[in-house]
Structure formats: structure tokens, C-alpha cells
A = this chain, B = another copy of it.
């Protein structure tokens, strides 16, 4: 707490994750703990990022998607050009998600139809065997 950094163990307890997961996130460039010798020290920034990562995970967002989104959050204080780029990337992500959502909806509608067909079939069979 002294320097507003946390060890890997403290992070694990605070966020209920394993050390392996944190090292993995670092290797995938989602977290950037500073080093004291060999040991990792996680900053407030890392904690903010991890919070978002875990929330995304609950939402089913892949780490790679999350990394891109987090990179956007960082670009916040950049210059106008960077800001415009960040907006462009964010919109692209948004478009991807919309597309995903639409495809998912199509498959869901289709599956709903299929369930009706199954149920109708079942009704028919039961009537047939009752007759």
C-alpha cells in the first residue's frame, strides 16, 4: 500500500484470480506490472484494467477483444489524431459486435422455428400412438 502497488498475491486475493492468470494477462499485454528485481508490482492502473478485464470476461468478451478496448481507454489523453483513431477503432469494434448480435439473432430465430417443428412432431406422434 505504501507505494500504491500490490504484489501478485495481494492481487490474487483482491480479485480472486490465480497468479498464473495474472502472468498470463501480462504476457498477453493486458497488464503492465512494474518490476522490482524479478517480482511484479501491480499499480492502480493495472487494477483498473484488471477490473475491466474480469467484467468483460463475465460478459463473454475475449481477452484479445478486451485488450483492444483497454488500449482505447488509454488513448484518452492523447492528441486529437490519436483520439480520432481511437474513435474509429471503437466504432469498428462496435460494428463487429452489432454484426455478431445480428447473426446470433438469425440463428436464434431459426432455432426457435426448429423447436416448434420438433414439438409439433412430438404432438403428432403422441396423438398417433394414442389413437
Contacts and interface: CB of A to CB of B under 8 A. Distances in A.
Interface string A81-116: 001101100110110011011011111101110110
B76 A107 contact: no
A9 interface: no
Interface stretch (A15-23, A28-36, A58-66): A58-66
Copies in the complex: 2
Interface of A: 55-56, 58-61, 69, 72-73, 76, 78-80, 83-84, 86-87, 90-91, 93-94, 97-98, 100-101, 103-108, 110-112, 114-115, 117-119, 121-122, 125-126, 129
A79 B122 CA distance: 9
Nearest to A52: B110
